[in-house]
Amino acid sequence: MCGIVGYTGSEQAKDILIGGLKRLEYRGYDSAGVALEQAGGDGIDVFRRVGKVSGLESELAHLDHTSTCGIGHTRWATHGRPSVANAHPHSSCDGRISIVHNGIIENFAELREELEARGHHFASDTDTEVFAHLIEEAYESGNGKPGTHDLLAAVREACTHVIGAYGLAAICADEPGVIAVARKDSPIIIGKGETGSYVASDVIAVIDATRDVVVLEDGQFARLTPEGISYTDADGNAIEPAVTHIDWDIDMAEKGGYPDFMLKEIFEQPRVVRDTLVGRLSGAGELDIDELGLTYEELDLIDRVYVIACGTSFHAGLIAKNLIESWARIPCEVEAASEFRYRNPIITPTTLVVAVSQSGETADTLAAIRDARIKGAKVFGITNVVGSPVARESDGVIYTKANKEIAVASTKSFIGQVVSLTLLALLLAQVKGKLNTRQVKLLFRELGDTAEQIQWILDTQQEAIHEAALACKDAHSALFVGRGMGAAISNEGALKLKEISYLHAEAYAAGEMKHGPIALIDPGFPVIAVTTKSPVYDKVVSNLKECEARGAKIIVVATEGDEDIKQIADHVICIPEVRDAFTPITATVPLQLLAREVALMRGCDVDQPRNLAKSVTVE
């Protein structure tokens, strides 16, 4: 995830900025840069590098730059590939204003067109750069208005044109020592240290300098100088935001105050849904997948889909199969990449292979991609890592926007994968004429609603999940069951539980129980079932009755308001009512939290389970 740091004070800014950027490295990035004011308001020097902050540090180490005011950034590519030109800071045409930005500007294409028509020259492919030019216009005069000649006022004016999310810091050669800051839907922290004022996107970047910070709220603006900080609302009225004292240590700060990365990443999931969907649907109802790499004509010819992946990514594929077959009516098979690559699957030029990989470098998935391409398939990648081998070796790609996932157990990347695969299923259905624009728009809106539904689960179900975990923690084994989408989700629930709590768990299609697994059930045996309202609800309930009769401890993930299920279940975890197609996005969240609770109760390290690595890059 992109990172921002800024400093104005009495010390050398370059050292403080590099130190702050290094602290932000754990979040993941592909390039880094700083902008430093020259002495006496002469101008701004910008230094940018693709790759590690240490590369930028070496470049700056040889430089005798005594600037005491600057801004820095680590970039995780969204619009435009990783490159020096796309790295932040970005500058105005005359180079006298530089900015760093986190977030996504949804209307950047329109803004860019308008700015170019008014004579602005763009030097990157990013959405961010429009901000630099908008601020320049507002500062100098332009677009029919007189200039503000006040950096913060110009930033406020620029923000009125932007639709989207931003955490923004700007400097201007004409206002030495001033940093102007804005925030909407992207975190910004501001603090005053002994030698100057600091801004960052994450408290970890400033924690050595100050522990008393202002967490800027949406629509608030700040002006930092070496002497102090002032705040305004969007109309320029002075405000006094509350100061928060941070008593976290560095380890906690990296985890955003959460006790472990797994919980932090589970709580990021509403954002992942939103970010993965930003800019994907035009007002006219056209789905926009920027790196599609395949023409609509090629997509229309697709008559068979294979989803290939491993582990959690494979489970995302199980969900995609349901969606692709029911919406686009294209036969879809899901295969473990480790099996696919050693078989002789039926592949023709009209076969689409969808490779799903969080890391984008899993050896089996990569080998399967290469094999599929040799056999003539079109390959589409779904990955979390920009420029990864899966992205490079596929014809097209959707990036999941989960940002760097640190816990070994995949959580937020799974949600990003399912949302991305849902987009792909919608696109195939649209291209094939199986769903009309009105239907696509409705489904897209409901897909976006899952962000709030996940938040509701996170806010309200922790206690119920804790109670359910107590019922599992001493078990020797557990069974996850469901039907339809519920069966697909059960696989992920069982994998999460076994990989982090070392408790044996299996997933079964509930209807298959009576063909063998029911023999396992004795009094107290945990059966975890997805019993959300769906066309197969009654069937799952009747399968659970068979388990109840044998004394199983029954834990259900059910639709809020379902009173009947309480008659059979020992523990009920609720999710909001949602269309069956989107159940995986919400119903998986309680299962992730349940696995984590059980693991903690059993004394396991939830971030770094034994025997496992984050990505498996060798055979």
Answer yes or no whether residue 586 interacts with ligand AGP by CB under 6 A: no
In the list 17, 204, 324, 408, the residue contacting ligand AGP (rule: CB under 6 A) is 408
Whole-number Å distance between alpha carbons of 369 and 362: 11
Environment class of 563 (CB within 10 Å of its CB; exposed 0-12, middle 13-18, buried 19+) = exposed
Strands 378-383 and 69-75: unpaired
Nearest residue to ligand AGP on Cβ basis? 311
Q: Kindly tell me which of 47 and 267 has the beta carbon lying closer to ligand AGP.
A: 267
Quote the DSSP letter at residue 326.
I
Give SS3 for 350. coil
Among the listed ranges 175-183, 352-360, 502-510, 554-562, the one in contact with ligand AGP (CB under 6 A) is 352-360
- What string of H, E and C letters represents the secondary structure of 176-198? CCCEEEEEECCCCEEEECCCEEE
Q: Mask 151-180, x = binds ligand AGP (CB under 6 A)? A: ------------------------------
Active site residue: 375, 473, 498, 614, which one? 614
Answer yes or no whether residue 357 interacts with ligand AGP by CB under 6 A: yes
In the list 368, 409, 472, 520, the residue contacting ligand AGP (rule: CB under 6 A) is 409
Among the listed ranges 16-24, 238-246, 307-315, 420-428, the one in contact with ligand AGP (CB under 6 A) is 307-315
Answer yes or no whether residue 455 interacts with ligand AGP by CB under 6 A: no
Answer yes or no whether residue 608 interacts with ligand AGP by CB under 6 A: no
Answer yes or no whether residue 400 interacts with ligand AGP by CB under 6 A: no
Q: Kindly tell me which of 91 and 313 has the beta carbon lying closer to ligand AGP.
A: 313
Active site residue: 2, 310, 472, 574, which one? 2
Whole-number Å distance between alpha carbons of 557 and 464: 10
CB of 453 to ligand AGP, least distance (A): 22
Answer yes or no whether residue 490 interacts with ligand AGP by CB under 6 A: no
| Residue length of the chain | 619
Strands 396-399 and 378-383: parallel
Answer yes or no whether residue 583 interacts with ligand AGP by CB under 6 A: no
Among the listed ranges 165-173, 294-302, 359-367, 599-607, the one in contact with ligand AGP (CB under 6 A) is 359-367
In the list 86, 124, 186, 313, the residue contacting ligand AGP (rule: CB under 6 A) is 313
Contact call for residues 309 and 355 (beta carbons, < 8 A): yes
In the list 1, 310, 464, 503, the residue contacting ligand AGP (rule: CB under 6 A) is 310
> Please, which residues have CB within 8 angstroms of residue 521's CB and are 6 or more apart in sequence?
479, 527, 547, 550, 551, 552
Residues binding ligand AGP: number (CB under 6 A): 15
Answer yes or no whether residue 388 interacts with ligand AGP by CB under 6 A: no
CB of 284 to ligand AGP, least distance (A): 34
In the list 78, 86, 312, 351, the residue contacting ligand AGP (rule: CB under 6 A) is 312
**Which of 401, 340, 396, 403 shows the shortest CA–CA distance to 372?**
340
Answer yes or no whether residue 362 interacts with ligand AGP by CB under 6 A: yes
Q: Kindly tell me which of 312 and 322 has the beta carbon lying closer to ligand AGP.
A: 312
Answer yes or no whether residue 479 interacts with ligand AGP by CB under 6 A: no
Contact call for residues 546 and 481 (beta carbons, < 8 A): no
CA 216 to chain centre: 21
- Rg of the chain's alpha carbons, rounded to an integer? 26
Q: Kindly tell me which of 262 and 328 has the beta carbon lying closer to ligand AGP.
A: 262
Residue 2 a catalytic site member:
yes
Environment class of 26 (CB within 10 Å of its CB; exposed 0-12, middle 13-18, buried 19+) = middle
Terminus-to-terminus CA distance in the chain, angstroms? 29
CB of 619 to ligand AGP, least distance (A): 13
Answer yes or no whether residue 367 interacts with ligand AGP by CB under 6 A: no
**E strands of 463-596, at which residues?**
477-482, 504-509, 526-531, 553-559, 571-575
> Please, which residues have CB within 8 angstroms of residue 265's CB and are 6 or more apart in sequence?
405, 406, 407, 411, 412
**E strands of 459-579, at which residues?**
477-482, 504-509, 526-531, 553-559, 571-575
Answer yes or no whether residue 8 interacts with ligand AGP by CB under 6 A: no
Answer yes or no whether residue 318 interacts with ligand AGP by CB under 6 A: no
**Which of 63, 67, 18 shows the shortest CA–CA distance to 42?**
67
Whole-number Å distance between alpha carbons of 508 and 500: 20
Evaluated on CA atoms 254, 258, 260, 266, the torsion sign reads: negative
**378 pairs with which residues across the strands?**
352
Answer yes or no whether residue 616 interacts with ligand AGP by CB under 6 A: yes
Answer yes or no whether residue 491 interacts with ligand AGP by CB under 6 A: no
In the list 127, 499, 548, 562, the residue contacting ligand AGP (rule: CB under 6 A) is 499
Answer yes or no whether residue 615 interacts with ligand AGP by CB under 6 A: yes
Tokens, residue 237: 């009225």
In the list 74, 124, 197, 365, the residue contacting ligand AGP (rule: CB under 6 A) is 365
Q: Using CB under 6 A as the criterion, which residues of the chain lie in contact with ligand AGP when the complex forms?
A: 310-313, 357-359, 362, 365, 408-410, 499, 615-616
| Residues marked as catalytic | 2, 614
